[in-house]
Structure 1
Amino acid sequence: MRVRPETQTETTQSTQLPDIPDGRGRNLYRLDPDLPKLLSLYLSPEAMAHFTPHFDRLGQVAGERLDDLAFLADQHTPTLSTRTRQGLDRDEIYKHPAYVELERWAFSEFGMAAASHRAGVLGWPEALPTHAKYTLFYLFTQTEFGLTCPVNMTDSLTRTLRKYATPELIDKYLPALTSLDFDVLFQGAMFMTEQAMGSDIAGTETRAVEEDGQWKLYGDKWFCSNPDADLAMVLARPDGAPAGMAGVSLFLLPRIKDDGHPNHYRILRLKEKLGTRSMPSGEIRFEGAHAYLIGEIGRGFQQMAEMVNSSRLSNGIRSAALMRRAYTEACYVADNRHAFGQRLKDLPLMRRQLDKLELATEQARSFGFQTAQALQDADQVGGDAKKLVRILTPLIKFRACRDARKVAGDAMEVRGGCGYIEEWIEARLVRESHLGSVWEGTSNIVALDVLRAIRRNDALSAYIAHFDALLAHAETALPDQQDILKKLRHSLEQVEIMATQITDADDQILARELASLMYYVGCAITFAWEASHSGMAHRMTLCLRTYRHSIRHREMDLQDALEDTANH
């Protein structure tokens, strides 16, 4: 037990252990000087002036109160009660008060789930600009990763409901989904996964039966996050529908029926998870649960794709946020700890390690902001922007979520043994970092989806056109950087050629290599575009490092692999 400083004696002081750098309480927004500069590229001056105080407030709360709550919520996981004390079957999930307070901050105080769907969030007279909303996610996730899943699912469910549901259903549920009153607002979820089929949605076995004009669901869903949500989107196969993807339909499932009684489904158990422990995930059995058909029969996956796209972007942004927190902590330790007579930061290998952490962190954020812009343009304009968002979302989901695992692990090393202890945030960041690569499709599934977007949705042309335009702007604005910009021009051309060559099943083995190359070429070009704006010259350094460490060797390796495939 440490003696309080005011009671220390001269003898005890000499035996004290040295303080370990502890950066708790710092403002996570102010610690990130590039964030306001980047936001100024996407938000109007009026929006920047309005939202900056809110970002600053969230940054401070995240570094203090929310950080403490997130630690408690991670330690005190949800529990499930399946019966009342009177013996009635009634599923209730108990969530620790710390998690409930986190919910209040996210859903009510900052309106993160409602931000895209109503006016008045944070005093803004219309729906929040896309980048303002995702900045809230970015800052909040740096302290609490698990809760941002229900927040995003609520946002995504509302988006899907507004696009495909009947006017009657929209009028019935939209007010609660977009409410800022914590005591009346609804949370959302999506129940897709079944134990036998995993990511193979075409294998969905959950049945939908129409009885007396009412749809009822039967079957099991194996991994359902936020299982006690007020509303959930569910994939099921109507009786008589064809096998395969063509028979899968989308349904809206209320937790409570119109008569005030619980709907007919059970939460069988909660999952014991590696990460996102604060947020419950469970297994659900439908026993004739009342549900509403959303859109057309047999179009379920296409409609659910609205939620999947949004969730994949959210996964990318949240992975970027997780990397940012890991990098921020690593920098603080390196600045404030001494070893071998020097600050860690001054040791050459440590500087190199921090540079690597920074690069992956900034790549994910810049690519995420570009994807968010594409999603906003797709909603407002459509056309090629829809094709662009179709390919950018799997790209960021694939690469940023994988990079987060390495960044979190390497940042733990910077703190050393203490980083392995659950009292510090690094251990939790490592655990949380693995979820992104599993959620909304594993790496193989998502890499193949990149190929699918190229082949079926003409998304490659939108990708090339978009990054060609950013590169052209940089070429005009940065005359002293023509050497690297010419190399990026060549890399972009090579992406187009090689992506076109990967056309049959034998080439699927190259999907991951192609997806990585496309992601990093997009990151490097985005860095150059950012550097062409005032006050962001450092982004050109990130551009050069991305080319040297992430593009050059991948480009050559993929070319060699394509030649080998052609020869065999």
Structure 2
Amino acid sequence: MNYADRDPALRPLLDRVLSSDDRARVEPLLVELGELAAGELDRQAALADANPPRLVQYAPDGTRIDEIAFHPAHDEAAAIAYERFGLAAMSHRPGVLGWPTKVPHTVKYALSYLYVQSEFGMACPLSMTDSAARILRLFDAERYADEIAALSSTDPALRKTGAMFMTEKQGGTDVGRTETIATDHGTHWTLTGKKWFASNPSADVILTLARVPGQGEGTRGLGMFLVPRLRPDGTRNALRIDRLKDKLGSRSIASGEVTLDDAYATPVGELTRGFRQMAEMLNVSRLSNAMRATALMRRAVRESLDHTRDRQVFGKPLFDQPLMRATLLPMILDTEAALHLVLEAAARLTAADAGDEYACALVRVLAPLAKYTVCKRARTVTGEAMEIRGGNGYIEDWVNPRLVRDAHLGSIWEGSSNVIALDVLRCMRRENAHTALADTYGDRPATRARWQHLRERGDNLLQLPPDEQEMRIGRYADELTRAVMETLLHDQADHETRTTDDGRALLVARTYSALLDDPAALPRPALDHFAALADGGPVPLTELKDAAHA
């Protein structure tokens, strides 16, 4: 088994969006990681999930150490991510995996998508390590050159991991209620406060927000600080891990409650821009959440396809039963559409990092849109896959319970769905983001009418009273996301019909559009070519043309 080989959308999409050189470089990595994800990584992930981390607060002599003991399977999975494939390093320096430049975000997210299909939890500290290096590089590169080098190292003796501590007991969504206090000592600062939900609490490099005296109230009063696990003299910093969270999912990694007790810290960037700097980290993390949700959907769909082919019911495989095909169809389509959206946003992020301001504005809205819709859909797809497997799907011997548990986290981390929808509304109010999306994706014949309608609805929404805007933004954000995904599916269809004789991508795009127009529709061509939709494989273009004229 190889997860890259079992994915009907991944390679054709990379054929279109990558340069020929990058496409050639990534192919052996797809083969290697796809095989690992279906084999050794999957075995280690199951072990790590069944043997979660333990907090060791004291050494035998009574010394407070606050260390976290991980199962060896966790360490094996970490080595594959950080060292073997450099998933946290590749965006920050050339040379990773032999790339002559920094690896494009498109490649990073494609490889991470394969990895997460087996190991979801590790993607959290992996993303935070990647994002911490990004924030330091963007806002304080000279001061933190050593930390950036360590966060982006693939050497097991040198590499460090990062974390982002934001949530406090009284202020999760409302970051402006942060109570942690920063005190200036001239050569450094100290932080005092409690962080209620701190993932990867044993990280080497922690970025957090704290209130700077005299700087103002709310988010304006917050500065960003780097809290190292060790002080410059090598002693343990004044950071206590009070307990680890007993989480529903993501059990392979540690999340805990942390007390900062005059912890040594140094400022990052401009203290008056602490929240804005953290927002940059949040937005990239939100795109990572969407990627992880997409990976869970792909794994769930593949598990369902394999089960329905093996399971005989009333004399024939479940896969051939009409109602089962109608159940699987939207799961397949939404998974494929989500992958297109994630890699599109990743490509725009690469352009933004190269100085493209328009791409930067698009990423600003694409990331929350992707998180809003894809993470919600992952909860449904993984739940449907559990039901498809029946009683076995509810048993921990199978992967389905883990997929369901992990899927629910995507809609919570880095902002719940309502918070994300309000962020989309903020983009619309400040930057007319809906207009930018319509300008970017609304000129294709297949989706032009939908985009014109969404543009007008967005304009009308902004004319409503603020309370009504907020009540309506959730549904509108979801429609924006699905319109972007529909457009991208048609872009892929146009590419493949020009360059190949295969009509599969065209069938996917047409079927997705048909179900957007009427969720109760039963698109006959899709059901007639269901095996090709499920697994890849040719769909003659002539048959689709005949169906279009029928």
TM-score normalized with structure 1 length: 0.88
1:104-157 Cα distance to aligned partner (Å, 9 max, x none): 000000000001011221111221111111111100000000001111110000
Quote the residue 2:504 is aligned against. 538
Q: Is the 8 A contact 2:51 2:252 kept in 1?
A: yes
1:458 CA displacement:
3.5
Residue identity opposite 2:57 in structure 1: T
1:203 pairs with 2:165: no
**Equivalent residues in 2 for 1:146-225, closer than 5 Å:** 146-165=121-140, 167-169=142-144, 171-225=145-199
Change (3 A) 1:147 1:314: same
Residue identity opposite 1:174 in structure 2: I
1:390-428 Cα distance to aligned partner (Å, 9 max, x none): 111110010100000000000111211111111111110
1:453 CA displacement:
0.7
CA distance in 1, matches of 2:49, 2:26: 30
Quote the residue 2:315 is aligned against. 341
1:32-74 Cα distance to aligned partner (Å, 9 max, x none): 1321110112111111111101111100011000000000000
Quote the residue 1:15 is aligned against. none
- Pick aligned residue for 1:452 from 421, 426, 435: 426
1:499 CA displacement:
4.5
Residue identity opposite 2:513 in structure 1: Y
Stretches of structure 2 that go unaligned for 5 or more consecutive residues are 521-550
1:526 pairs with 2:492: no
Residue identity opposite 1:542 in structure 2: V
CA distance in 2, matches of 1:503, 1:388: 26
CA distance in 2, matches of 1:544, 1:43: 24
Give identity over the alignment, percent: 41
1:496 CA displacement:
4.2
1:338-392 Cα distance to aligned partner (Å, 9 max, x none): 1110011110011011102112211211111111122112111332211111111
Q: Is the 8 A contact 1:165 1:294 kept in 2?
A: yes
- Pick aligned residue for 1:400 from 355, 359, 374: 374
Residue identity opposite 1:365 in structure 2: L
Using the TM superposition, name which of 238-247 and 76-85 deviates more: 238-247
1:488-537 Cα distance to aligned partner (Å, 9 max, x none): 35444445444444562332100101101101111111111111012463
1:240 CA displacement:
2.5
Change (3 A) 1:39 1:495: farther
- Pick aligned residue for 2:52 from 77, 88, 93: 77
CA distance in 2, matches of 1:212, 1:485: 58
Residue identity opposite 1:29 in structure 2: A
Change (3 A) 1:330 1:166: closer
Quote the residue 2:230 is aligned against. 256
CA distance in 2, matches of 1:103, 1:553: 41
Quote the residue 2:295 is aligned against. 321
Q: Give the SS at the match of 1:41.
A: helix
Residue identity opposite 1:89 in structure 2: R
1:284-312 Cα distance to aligned partner (Å, 9 max, x none): 00011111111112211110112111100
Change (3 A) 1:414 1:384: same
Quote the residue 1:67 is aligned against. 42
Quote the residue 1:18 is aligned against. none
- Pick aligned residue for 1:417 from 377, 382, 391: 391
1:259-295 Cα distance to aligned partner (Å, 9 max, x none): 0101111011000000000000001000111111111
1:16-45 Cα distance to aligned partner (Å, 9 max, x none): xxxxxxxxxx10000013211101121111
CA distance in 1, matches of 2:76, 2:461: 47
Change (3 A) 1:331 1:546: same
1:543 CA displacement:
3.0
Q: Is the 8 A contact 2:340 2:489 kept in 1?
A: yes
Quote the residue 2:524 is aligned against. none
**Equivalent residues in 2 for 1:124-163, closer than 5 Å:** 124-163=99-138
Q: Give the SS at the match of 1:424.
A: coil
CA distance in 1, matches of 2:362, 2:141: 28
Change (3 A) 1:234 1:117: same
1:486 CA displacement:
5.1
CA distance in 2, matches of 1:420, 1:498: 45
CA distance in 1, matches of 2:142, 2:210: 22
Q: Is the 8 A contact 1:488 1:525 kept in 2?
A: no
Matched residue pairs, number?
516
1:423-457 Cα distance to aligned partner (Å, 9 max, x none): 11111000000000000000110000000011123
Q: Is the 8 A contact 1:206 1:219 kept in 2?
A: yes
Q: Is the 8 A contact 1:320 1:400 kept in 2?
A: yes
CA distance in 1, matches of 2:369, 2:447: 22
Change (3 A) 1:499 1:359: farther
Quote the residue 2:528 is aligned against. none
CA distance in 2, matches of 1:181, 1:244: 41
- Pick aligned residue for 2:440 from 451, 456, 466: 466
Quote the residue 2:88 is aligned against. 113
1:539 CA displacement:
3.0
CA distance in 2, matches of 1:122, 1:438: 33
Quote the residue 2:16 is aligned against. 41
1:334 CA displacement:
1.2
Q: Is the 8 A contact 1:495 1:518 kept in 2?
A: no
**Equivalent residues in 2 for 1:329-408, closer than 5 Å:** 329-408=303-382
Quote the residue 2:470 is aligned against. 508
Change (3 A) 1:260 1:528: same
CA distance in 1, matches of 2:282, 2:125: 13
CA distance in 2, matches of 1:192, 1:129: 28
Q: Is the 8 A contact 1:521 1:551 kept in 2?
A: no
Q: Is the 8 A contact 1:159 1:306 kept in 2?
A: no
1:193 CA displacement:
0.3
1:552 CA displacement:
5.8
1:180-239 Cα distance to aligned partner (Å, 9 max, x none): 111220000100000111111111111111023311000000000000000011011112
Quote the residue 1:8 is aligned against. none
Q: Is the 8 A contact 1:313 1:396 kept in 2?
A: yes
Q: Give the SS at the match of 1:224.
A: strand
CA distance in 2, matches of 1:283, 1:551: 46
Quote the residue 1:240 is aligned against. 214
Stretches of structure 1 that go unaligned for 5 or more consecutive residues are 1-25, 476-483, 555-568
Q: Is the 8 A contact 2:81 2:87 kept in 1?
A: yes
Residue identity opposite 1:320 in structure 2: T
Using the TM superposition, name which of 312-321 and 487-496 deviates more: 487-496
CA distance in 1, matches of 2:448, 2:353: 33
Q: Give the SS at the match of 2:143.
A: helix
Change (3 A) 1:225 1:163: same
Q: Is the 8 A contact 2:442 2:448 kept in 1?
A: no
Q: Is the 8 A contact 2:113 2:295 kept in 1?
A: yes
Using the TM superposition, name which of 490-499 and 34-43 deviates more: 490-499
Quote the residue 2:247 is aligned against. 273
CA distance in 1, matches of 2:366, 2:373: 11
Residue identity opposite 1:531 in structure 2: A
CA distance in 2, matches of 1:334, 1:279: 32
Q: Give the SS at the match of 1:299.
A: helix
